[in-house]
Homo-oligomer: A and B are copies of this chain.
Amino acid sequence: MSWKITSTSLQPEQLAVEESLYALANGYLGVRGNFEEGYQKNLPTIRGTYINAYHDIVDISYGEKFIGYPETQQKIVNIMDAQTIELFITSGGIEEKFSLFEGEVLSYDRHLHLDKGYTERNIHWRSPNGKELRLTFERIVSFERKELFAIRVTITPVNFTGKVKIRSAVNGDVLNYVNENDPRVGNHREPLLFTVSTKSEDGLTYVLNRTKRSNLETACVTDYIFSTGERHDVVQEKQVLTVVTMDLTTTVTFEKRNVYVDTLRHGDHIVAVGKEIQQTIHELTFKQLLTEQQTYLNQFWKTADIKIYGDEEIQVGIRFNLYQLLQSAGRDPYSFIAAKGLSGEGYEGHYFWDTEIYMLPLFIMTKPEIARGLLLYRYSKLEQAKVRAKEMGHRKGALYPWRTISGTECSPYYPGGSAQYHISADIAYSFIQYYLATSDEEFLHEYAAEVLFETARLWIETGHFRDGKFRIDCVTGPDEYTALVNNNYYTNVMAKYNLMWAAKVYKDLANKNKAQFDQLVGRLQLLEREVMEWGHAAANMYLPYDERLDINPQDDTFLQKAIWDFEGTPREHYPLLLHYHPLTLYRYQVCKQADTVLAHFLLEDEQSFSTIKNSYNYYEKITTHDSSLSSCIFSIMAAKIGDSEKAYQYFRETVRMDLDNIQGNTKDGLHLANMGGAWLAIVFGFAGLRIKESGLYLSPILPKAWSGYECTLQYKGRLLHINITKQSLSIQNIGPTVDLFIYNKPYTISNNQTIEIEK
């Protein structure tokens, strides 16, 4: 049970939600959990298949356009639909089409196997004509063979014999989902891609599509394996139908193996490549594919699993989240982790800062090779970030885009988009965190250094000194219910860290690798004077502080605004952004999400504990958590200030946000950042992990509801296994001797040693 998500619901709204929950992906390819046989007509659905970073380009329309506005944006493309498998049974001369919305469903269950990496649907169905059928649909999107999406259908006649006709389609005539009234979903109605060719040859079929403006091609090459029967391919302009007819006297199986290839990764002759891949797997049984999948997942869970004792719902929730993160993370230089992973089209497949701040820590601490790859994606977009800085009027530096796929700014709404300059500091922060957790000095010098230098330059360009303090005006912080403010605490403190580390790495590189240093400094035309400015700005960074309240104000004028009328706001007016004009929201003290509180999590040594605690208490009262990036941070910080009840309450909202559709929009895709946040809430929240220059810190607490929990962390080449029970805390080290801080006291653990601390 704790490795499985199960559903028996056929409620229309829940089905759309389950399309996201049962989505399968592997970082490259993602397929939503639609029913192969389709729904009833007019049932709400978003039928989708996506390749990470596979996008088209669309114009951005502006009622009023200004200089520096992006003219186009990338958009993830819903590609060829290979999910469709329709079943027709014939018995006594009568043909009936299988549908869960006709006849009688005698039993129905659906599962996502988190340990094995596949989904299944089991159905016992009685047709309107009384014919009973048992059906199992199994699906896999392979971690080992990233192009493969396979479906196996097992069909058993219960009370009749006859024939089954299977009508399987790969359809190139697909559209993206639109919702004009929700700014979180796309609103572009034109088709983004068209079908170039369709064919059936060598026992395979394929559909080749091309995007309209980005000129990227993708092909779906399909192979069929089934019990004895007759097959017939119907090649149409935009789709290929494969019709298979089998005798149905006993159990028969039907496998549909789709290989998705694209010109971003597979060269120009993608159909040929797709066929080759099909060849290599043709001899493998479905069972073998499942075994491969399980082997991959065993490896993953060995280092990533979190065990929770005493709460089954949470246990399965956290595993679900980790599994989805694993499914979503790009594994090549083209791709990153989209806000919705590969589970839906919300936020149009764009990458945001969420990846760095909410998702990357999991990979850094459990699968650092994936983290490294993700950071390389950002490194590869550095040139575009430098161009963007110029577009925004800066003479130098790198301004990373608020939302993007291929590297250019895709945000049409700058007060909540481009103005979030903190994204550049967030990226810098993640490079530093990776270094602190891995000691990967080669990466630091080869990649991180350049990112740090160029982002540091941006801050010098953006801020200015006044009365001896370095100030940053007119930016938007993480909280999207406040915009275009001066000295957003989060932005300033993150910029400070960015500047400080840029100066530090500059010196480090100069000392350790003069040739590489000279080469980089020469290429960037970096002056010693600039590095001095970084240090000077960092040392004198203005961080707003209110003495009376002993809190950090979110920005210079935040505390002067009126507090939002929470009492006069009906429950159905949340999330506020769907009911109040931005101008109205900006006018009040009301936060969509953690902002200063997030800064206190990421850089806790910048303020005293009392300021952190007071700030938490202050902002908690005015934060709506309308963003899915919020509850997890409040959970972590509640744990930090010792309010374990609150920490647990926020954690619960976090960990099951999508499983319970708490935000109401899971149908548009999963909230990946929130999922990463659930992991953060356990590891950084309850277990109190912090990765600092001075070392690794743990301060575990145990939520009342649990009898214990366990997690594993990779740290500088070691595997640290942490086990917390009501009585004690034990840490096992597999790897070289490690120094670390537990409850702020230093400990040393040698290889294979376990230390145990009584509570």
List residues of A whose CB falls within 8 A of some B CB. 60-69, 73, 180-181, 183, 187, 391-393, 411-419, 462, 464, 466, 471, 473-474, 483-484, 486, 556-557, 560-562, 577-584, 586-588
Interface-central residue, A392, A412, A560, by most chain B CB under 10 Å: A560
Contact B586 A68 (CB under 8 A): no
| Alpha-carbon distance between A449 and B466 when the two chains are bound, in angstroms | 47
> Could you tell me the distance between the alpha carbons of A483 and B580 in the complex, rounded to whole angstroms?
19
Give the number of times this chain occurs in the complex, counting copies: 2
CA distance A413 to B63 in the complex (A): 7
Q: Which residues of B contact A486 (CB under 8 A)?
A: 557, 560-561
Measured CB to CB, the closest approach of chain B to A573, in angstroms, equals 10
A53 to B67, CA, bound (A): 30
A-B contact pairs, 20 of them (CB 8 A): A61-B62, A62-B412, A64-B412, A64-B413, A64-B417, A65-B181, A65-B183, A66-B582, A67-B577, A68-B582, A68-B583, A69-B581, A392-B583, A393-B584, A414-B583, A415-B415, A473-B562, A473-B587, A484-B583, A556-B560
Least distance between A185 CB and chain B CB atoms (Å): 10
Q: A62-B61, A67-B579, A413-B64 known; A584 and B466 CB under 8 Å? A: no
A557 touches B557 (CB 8 A): yes
CB atoms of B63 and A473 under 8 A apart? no
- CB atoms of A581 and B66 under 8 A apart: yes
A64 to B392, CA, bound (A): 20
Q: Is B413 in contact with A562, judged by CB distance below 8 angstroms?
A: no
Of B65, B183, B557, B584, the residue contacting A556 (CB under 8 A) is B557
Contact: B557 with A392, CB < 8 Å?
no
Using Cβ atoms and an 8 Å threshold, which residues of chain B touch A69?
581
Minimal Cβ-Cβ distance residue in B for A70: B63
What distance in Å separates the Cβ of A714 from its nearest Cβ neighbour in chain B? 39
Partner of A466 from the list B392, B562, B583 (CB cut-off 8 Å) is B562
B183 and A64 contact, CB distance less than 8 A: yes
CA distance A66 to B587 in the complex (A): 16
Chain B residues closer than 8 Å to A187, beta-carbon distance: 62, 65
User: Are A562 and B62 in touch, CB under 8 angstroms?
Assistant: no
B66 touches A183 (CB 8 A): yes
Q: Who on chain B is nearest to A403 by CB?
A: B64
CB-CB < 8 A to A583: which residues of B? 68, 392, 414, 418-419, 474, 484
Q: How many Å lie between the Cα of A735 and that of B552 in the bound state?
A: 66
Supplied contacts A64-B416, A473-B560, 11 more A-B pairs, CB within 8 Å: A61-B61, A62-B62, A63-B412, A64-B412, A67-B577, A67-B580, A68-B584, A393-B580, A414-B583, A474-B561, A557-B557
Shortest CB–CB separation between residue A464 and chain B, in angstroms? 4
Most chain-B CB neighbours within 10 Å: which of A69, A391, A415, A474? Answer: A474
Q: Which residues of B contact A183 (CB under 8 A)?
A: 64-66
Query: Does B560 lie within 8 Å of A471, measured CB to CB?
Result: yes
| A62 and chain B: residue at smallest CB distance | B63
Q: Which 3 pairs show the lowest CB-CB distances between chains A and B?
A: A63-B412, A61-B61, A68-B581
**Given A60-B63, A66-B581, A393-B580, A484 and B412 contact (CB-CB distance below 8 Å):** no
Q: Which residues of B contact A415 (CB under 8 A)?
A: 415, 484
Contact in complex: B63, A392 (CB < 8 Å): no
What B residues does A579 contact at CB under 8 A?
A: 67
Q: Which of A64, A391, A411 has the most CB of B within 10 A?
A: A64
Which chain B positions have C-beta within 8 A of A587?
A: 462, 473-474
A71's closest neighbor in chain B, by CB?
B180
A586 neighbours in B (Cβ, 8 Å): 474, 484
Q: Chain B contacts of A418 at CB under 8 A? A: 581, 583
Give A101 to B414 CA distance when docked, in angstroms: 48
Shortest Cβ distance from A77 into chain B, in angstroms? 18
Residue numbers in B under 8 Å from A562 (CB-CB): 464, 466, 473
Chain B residues whose CB sits within 8 angstroms of the CB of A474 once the complex forms: 561, 583, 586-587
CB distance from A382 to the nearest CB of B (A): 20
- A581 adjacent to B63 (CB under 8 Å): no
The distance in angstroms between the C-alpha atoms of A491 and B580, with both chains bound, is 22
Collect the chain B residues with CB atoms within 8 Å of residue A483's CB: 484
A59 to chain B, nearest CB (A): 9
In the complex, which residues of chain B have a beta carbon less than 8 angstroms from the beta carbon of A180? Answer: 65
Shortest C-beta distance, A580 to chain B (Å), equals: 5
